[in-house]
Amino acid sequence: MKTSLFHRFRNNERKHSPQMTKPPVIPTSRPSSIQISSDKTSQRREAQFQDVLSAPVIDLEKIKSISWAGVPDKYRATVWRLFLDYEPVNSAIRASTLNHKRCDYFDCVERVFSESQRHLWTNAQKQTQSQIMRDLPRTHSVLLRSERVQQLFERALFVWAVRHPASGYVQGMNDLMQPFFFVFLAATHDGKIEEVENLQNLDGFTEDQLKEIEADCFWCFSKLLDGLQDLYTKDQPGLYKMLDSLSNVIDRVDPCLAKHIIDQEIQYQEFAFRWMNCLLVREFSMSIVFRLWDSYLCRHQRISTGHVFICAAMLTILSGRLINLNHTDFIIEIQSIDPKSWTVNDMEMIIAQAYVYEKMFSNSPSHLRSASMPNFNV
């Protein structure tokens, strides 16, 4: 049985942080009974989603409410499109609207990549394309390094950059498109990420399927970044604000770790810059990212706020291992954690703890809140 990262670290956890909510004890006896119970719970949740999604007009608030605990694999692609206001809630116009948006995207691709238009690319646009093509091979996934997938990503990212000249393409954006790509790819296999994550290429997919996946990736990526624009504008002010916010949260919820970070002269950007820039996509396996992004996208206009608390919860879980490390070893320890060592249960605990922290700050008197914190209205 795979031992979760949380439980390996829990024995080292210190008792100095009273605000830390302990996770429930997971029973180890009668595993067959637990599995049966889990299967029945999954079936009930699937039925619940099916009931809501089959309505002529989907109740979006209801979907958001039940998605906080995670979205069943087979419905994730649809639910994410709904969350991002890309797929209409009205079934009468759903197919025509999606078809129209997909055609719009490929019309834009044709204009941007046509031979006549390529001759008009500015130096900045040429540099953007070069940067995208340098970034795309930097992945451990064989599928993401395949030529067909890289062409898909190149088109979607470059078109987005052309349409958003104020920010343009920034390293890390390619990571943010990966969850959408795998969710929409997995939708062709009943949502099972394990059936597509280890593919070598896209030979088993039709051209129509791949065009739908590409267009949906572009539009959902665009909707996501609409709420994160200051993360990627010049000098990335939003990103540094989130780093300051993370520091402020740790000061309050784990003062011993906060003091250790100060004593060792560790800067949060040394280990958390990538967390903010890529929304933790590089830190977890894709199935765990899916669970995290279920909670992010159901309130996607407030991802920046929720993300800070997720990062704080991660640090408090890792705190017992980090507290005795010097500056260099502290950074190495965080950066060397294997993404595959985290389990879904770990992520459930992180999400639950982050919610506790968010409520703690939202309910605090105003003088206890830092001016640099995000909006805490929940």
CATH topology (fold) of 5-23+235-368: Cyclin A; domain 1 (1.10.472)
pLDDT at 236: 87
CB atoms closer than 10 angstroms to residue 327: 14
- Torsion angle defined by CA atoms of residues 343, 344, 348 and 354, in that order, rounded to the nearest 10 degrees: 60
Average pLDDT score over residue span 80-101: 98
- Torsion angle defined by CA atoms of residues 278, 280, 283 and 286, in that order, rounded to the nearest 10 degrees: -100
pLDDT digit string, tens, across residues 22-66: 333 333 344 444 445 567 778 999 999 999 999 999 999 999 999
Q: Structure pTM?
A: 0.88
Contact 57, 91 (CB under 8 A): yes
pLDDT digit string, tens, across residues 322-342: 999 999 999 999 999 999 999
Q: Where are the domains of the chain?
A: 5-23+235-368, 69-226
CA–CA separation, 10 and 17 (whole Å): 13
CA–CA separation, 350 and 33 (whole Å): 26
In sequence order, the 6+-apart residues with CB closer than 8 A to the CB of 156 are 177, 214, 217, 218, 221
pLDDT digit string, tens, across residues 104-160: 999 999 999 998 888 899 999 999 999 999 999 988 889 999 999 999 999 999 999
Query: Using CA of residue 188, residue 150, residue 212, residue 223, what is the dihedral sign?
Result: positive
Q: What percent of the chain has pLDDT over 90?
A: 70
